[in-house]
Amino acid sequence: MTRRGPRPINIRLRRLLVMLPWLMERENVSTQEMADHFLMSVDDLVADLTLASLCGVSQDPRDLIDLWVDEDEVHFGIPKYFDRPLRLTVTEAFSLVASAAAAEQIPGADVDGALSRAITKVQAVLAIDNDDSFAIDLGTPDTVAPLVDAALGQQIVEFDYWSVATGQSVRRRVVPIEVFAERDHWYVRSFDTEAQAERTFRLDRLDDLQTIKQSMAVTPSARGEWFSSLQERQVVTLEVDPSWLWVLEQYSGVAVSASSATSSSSSHSWVTVEVVVSSERWLQRVLLRFGCHARLVTPSEWADLAGATAELVLTRYGTTKGTSSAGSSIP
């Protein structure tokens, strides 16, 4: 069992100030329901409510907050101080505006304009101008809408999927489970009817999407970490020029799990990072993107991979190690 320290006072106060008006609206509610709603344990809830019942402008019982916990029920009496929740904090206001801006770009999130109306009311209370100074651009591709529909109806879809490893497209038949955007790309997590397993596909690599008039019940697993289903998962250690760490930022699911200073031939310290890679081809692209700003440390069998990959691409330019660059073939 994990031991935990005392809960921070600011968190407890924040909860209390929203719990009291919520309780006032209901008057009686079970401790379990209330704890579930406010994402806390029953023990913590009872502790905070018991403390609140001792609060007021004086210790005269008539001045105390009128609530009590009896068995598994919370009871609220006469409202005295906290009839309404505290105004939205800066972070809460931001989260609502951002959520609405993102959801407006996701098919099915704004049914009959209800979200637009809701956010207009929120903006009015917060005195926010509805202008063009704030935006979330998810770059939602056209394929999201039919895939979301298929996920809702558990319908089978087919598409050509281009494999970055082989450069070839293969027809896939899947039942979409969820469609999601992460970093710069959209993905669909699906049940692949041929592989009889869950697979995740990048939407900009699929083509000729067709919905089949056939449904199939699938029980999705809990969404795991990226690469968790890969049997050939491999951890690679790189030494990286810290000013080039941004190269790794574009990869969803890449865990930079260790970082320590190390010396190098360059004038400043490089950092050591561990990267979970999905395939050798994937690592080749990462190494090309780093160029001479990273060195592969382990595993040793890939020690020459960066140089070999660079030579492979150089042949495309009619150039090899030790030769000068060839002339271009401009059409």
Partner 1 sequence: MHQLERVTNLLALLLSARRHLTFEEIRTQLKGQYPENLVAARAAFERDKAILRDEGVPIDSEVQGGDKAGMTGYLIKRSAYELGDLDLSTQEAAALRVAVSTLRMGQSWGEEALWKVDMEEHGSQLVTTSAHATLLVHPNLPLLHEALIKKVAVGFTYSDRKRVVEPYGLLARSGWWYLVGHDQSVNAERTFRVDRIEGEVSILRDIACTRPSGFDIRKAFPVDLKELPGAIDVGGEVAQVLVNASDVGVVLGQYTQSAVVENRPDGSVVFQVPCSNVQAFEQWLFGFLDRAEVLAPPALRQHVIDWLLEMTGSVTRGER
Q: Which residues 60-99 are close enough to bind partner 1 by CB under 8 A? A: 65, 80-99
Which residues fall within 8 angstroms of residue 2, CB to CB, at 6 or more apart?
A: none
- Please report which helix (H) or strand (E) contains residue 201, including its range: strand 197-202
Nearest approach, Cβ of residue 274 and partner 1 (Å)? 21
Residues 141-170 that bind partner 1 (CB under 8 A): 144, 148, 151-152, 160, 162, 164, 166-169
In the list 13, 212, 216, 258, the residue contacting partner 1 (rule: CB under 8 A) is 13
Task: Report the site for partner 1 in 250-269 (rule: CB under 8 A).
Answer: 250
With binding defined as CB under 8 A, does residue 271 bind partner 1? no
| Residue 36 C-beta: closest distance to partner 1, Å | 6
**Closest CB to partner 1 among residues 118, 195:** 118
> Interacting stretch for partner 1, rule CB under 8 A, among 52-60, 192-200, 210-218, 227-235?
52-60
Among the listed ranges 192-200, 210-218, 268-276, 323-331, the one in contact with partner 1 (CB under 8 A) is 323-331
Q: Over the range 189-228, which residues count as b (16 or more CB within 10 Å of their CB) and which as e?
A: bbbbeeeeebbbbebeebeebebeeeeeebeeeeeeebee
CA dist 197 → 38, 220, 316 (Å): 36, 10, 38
Q: Which residues contact 126 (CB under 8 A, 6 or more apart)?
A: 88, 93, 97
Q: Which is nearer to partner 1, 160 or 274 (CB)?
A: 160
Q: Which of 44, 66, 73, 178 binds partner 1 (CB under 8 A)?
A: 178
Question: Taking a C-beta distance cutoff of 8 angstroms, is the pair 313, 296 a contact?
Answer: no
Q: Cβ closer to partner 1: 4 or 231? A: 4
Backbone angles phi, psi at 312, to 5 degrees: -60, -45
